[in-house]
Amino acid sequence: MEMNPGRYIGCCGAYCSTCKPYVTGFCKGCKLGYDSGGRDISISKCKIKLCCFRDRNLETCADCPEMESCSIIGNLYAQNGYKYKKCRQAVEFIRNNGYGEFIRIAGQWKGAYGKYE
């Protein structure tokens, strides 16, 4: 059975497949292993993952009708830093273009983030 490519996108919009910590084995990914029972989501410290993936059973915050007013994801996106801007950009791109198009474009990136052209 092939893995859902959306499982390689964090709830916040981070893309695992090009993320250096994930690729080098220092990170297990944001969602991988929870559906198979290999990991216990109840011990996760990520409030975004708990809200989105566990409680709402969504793939990412892009699927949430309350995303724009959500303080949990809003607090992450309000932080200073390039990665937070890029995660928000990813979620907004998915909302507008779908997961398939995101995976197609992100699969060409050389690093954790890239352009949407």
Work out the pLDDT band at 117, boundaries 50, 70, 90. Answer: confident
> What are the structural domain ranges in the chain?
5-106
Q: What are phi and psi of 15, to 5 degrees?
A: -110, 110
How many whole angstroms separate alpha carbon 62 and alpha carbon 69?
13
Decide: residue 80, CB within 10 A, 0-12 exposed, 13-18 middle, 19+ buried. Answer: exposed
Whole-prediction pTM: 0.86
Q: Are 22 and 109 in contact (CB under 8 A)?
A: no
pLDDT tens for each residue of 19-73: 778 888 887 778 888 878 888 998 989 999 999 989 999 999 999 999 999 999 9
